C-alpha cells in the first residue's frame, strides 16, 4: 500500500483529496496536517467522512512526512516550497496543488506571487502535472506541480488547435467562469452568498495569477510566443469552470471535430462531445472529467471551444490523484471512476 500524507487538509481541495483518496484501493492515508486544527478529529470538521476515516489533524512534522511515499500539499501559495527540498532529499515524492512549482522562471513567480521563491534550484526538477500533455514525464517525476483550475480547462481546450498549428497564436482569447469554491475556504466578503448570489462579474482583468501559467503552457504547445487575453469571472455557484475559448483559424479546410476526437481518443478523462453540443458544468460535478465541444459559428474563421471541468476535481484534487497514479505505476483511473452528480 502507498503511504500518503496530506499537508493542509482543511481547505476545499484538502477535503476533496480526502473524499477521493479514502476509497482508493491502493493506498493508506497516514497523516493529515493542520496547524490551526491540530488534535481535532477530521470528521468533526468534515462530517461527510464520518465512518470512512479515523484520523486527527496534526502539526506538520517533516520527519513524519518523510515516512510517507507521497505527500500532497493542499496549502496556500508559498508554503510547499519551504518543505519540499527536505522531503525530496528523503526520497518522498511530492505533489503540490498550489502554484509554488508551476512557473519555470523564479522571477516570474516573484512578479505574480509577491515573494521570492524559496528553492529556485528545485524548479528544474518539477514536472507540470497535466497528464494529457506530460504523461511520460509524470511517470518518472519526484515532484509534480499540479496545474491550476483555469489553466487546466483553457490548456485542454486550446491544445489540439495549437499543436496542429491551425490558429493565429497572437490573438487567443479565454473567457472563463468559476464557482466560488475556486476562491478557497478562507472567509471573504466577496464570496458570501449575500454578495455573489444572483450576481455575475468579471475580476482580475488587468492580470490574474493564472495568466503566466496558461501562457507558459500555450507557448510550449505552439513552439513560440502567444498573445493571450484571459478574463476570469465569478459565477454564483459552488463548483465548476466553464471556459469559452476563441481563436482565428488560418486553415478553414480542417475538420475540427475530427481533430479534437483524434487528439483525445485515448484520454480517459477528456470527453469530446458530438458536433453542435454545449457542455454543462453540472455534467462534471464531482468527477475528474473535462468535457469539450468545438464550434465554428456561421462557418467563419473564428473557432470557439467550450471546455468544462469541476475546479475541485480535474482542476485540483482529482488531477493530483491522477498524477499520483501515474507516478506509482497504477491504473491512471484508480479511485477516479465516479459518475457526476445530477441534479
Angle between helices 210-222 and 131-139 (to 10 degrees): 80
Q: How far apart are CA 296 and CA 319, in angstroms?
A: 30
Read off the C-alpha cell for 49: 467522512
Catalytic residues: 149
Handedness of CA 62, 64, 69, 72 (dihedral sign): negative
* CA dist., res. 340 & res. 41, Å (int): 28
Distance CA 269, CA 137 (A): 18
Is the torsion defined by CA of 310, 197, 246, 253 positive or negative?
A: positive
DSSP state at residue 273: P
Residues 6+ away with beta carbon under 8 Å from 176: 150, 153, 154, 230, 231, 232, 233, 241, 242, 243, 244
The three three-digit cell numbers of residue 40, written as one number: 481535532
Amino acid at each position: 500500500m502507498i503511504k500518503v500524507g496530506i499537508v493542509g487538509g482543511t481547505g476545499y481541495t484538502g477535503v476533496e483529496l480526502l473524499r477521493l483518496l479514502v476509497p482508493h484501493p491502493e493506498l493508506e492515508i497516514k497523516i493529515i496536517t493542520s496547524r490551526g486544527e491540530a488534535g481535532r478529529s477530521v470528521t468533526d470538521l468534515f462530517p461527510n467522512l464520518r465512518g470512512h476515516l479515523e484520523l486527527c489533524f496534526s502539526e506538520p512534522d517533516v520527519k513524519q512526512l518523510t515516512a510517507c511515499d507521497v505527500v500532497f500539499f493542499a496549502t496556500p501559495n508559498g508554503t510547499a516550497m519551504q518543505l519540499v527540498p527536505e522531503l525530496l532529499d528523503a526520497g518522498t515524492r511530492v505533489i503540490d496543488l498550489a502554484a509554488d512549482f508551476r512557473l519555470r522562471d523564479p522571477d516570474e513567480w516573484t512578479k505574480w506571487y509577491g515573494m521570492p521563491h524559496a528553492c529556485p534550484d528545485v524548479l528544474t526538477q518539477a514536472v507540470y502535472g497535466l497528464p494529457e500533455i506530460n504523461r511520460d514525464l509524470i511517470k518518472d517525476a519526484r515532484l509534480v506541480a499540479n496545474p491550476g483550475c483555469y489553466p487546466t480547462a483553457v490548456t485542454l481546450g486550446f491544445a489540439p488547435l495549437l499543436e496542429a498549428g491551425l490558429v493565429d497564436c497572437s490573438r487567443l482569447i479565454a473567457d472563463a467562469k468559476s464557482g466560488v469554491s475556486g476562491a478557497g475556504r478562507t472567509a471573504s466578503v466577496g464570496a458570501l452568498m449575500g454578495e455573489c448570489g444572483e450576481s455575475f462579474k468579471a475580476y482580475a482583468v488587468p492580470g490574474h495569477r493564472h495568466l503566466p501559467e496558461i501562457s507558459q503552457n500555450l507557448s510550449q504547445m505552439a513552439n513560440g510566443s502567444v498573445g493571450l487575453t484571459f478574463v476570469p469571472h465569478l459565477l454564483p455557484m459552488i463548483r465548476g469552470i466553464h471556459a469559452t475559448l476563441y481563436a482565428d483559424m488560418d486553415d478553414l479546410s480542417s475538420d475540427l471535430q475530427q481533430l479534437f476526437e483524434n487528439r483525445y481518443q485515448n484520454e480517459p478523462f477528456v470527453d469530446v462531445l458530438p458536433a453542435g453540443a454545449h457542455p454543462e458544468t453540472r455534467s462534471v460535478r464531482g468527477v475528474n472529467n473535462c468535457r469539450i465541444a468545438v464550434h465554428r459559428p456561421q462557418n467563419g474563421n473564428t473557432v470557439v471551444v467550450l471546455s468544462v471541468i469541476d475546479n475541485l476535481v480535474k482542476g485540483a484534487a482529482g488531477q493530483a490523484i491522477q498524477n499520483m497514479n501515474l507516478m506509482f505505476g497504477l491504473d491512471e483511473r484508480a479511485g477516479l471512476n465516479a459518475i457526476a452528480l445530477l441534479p
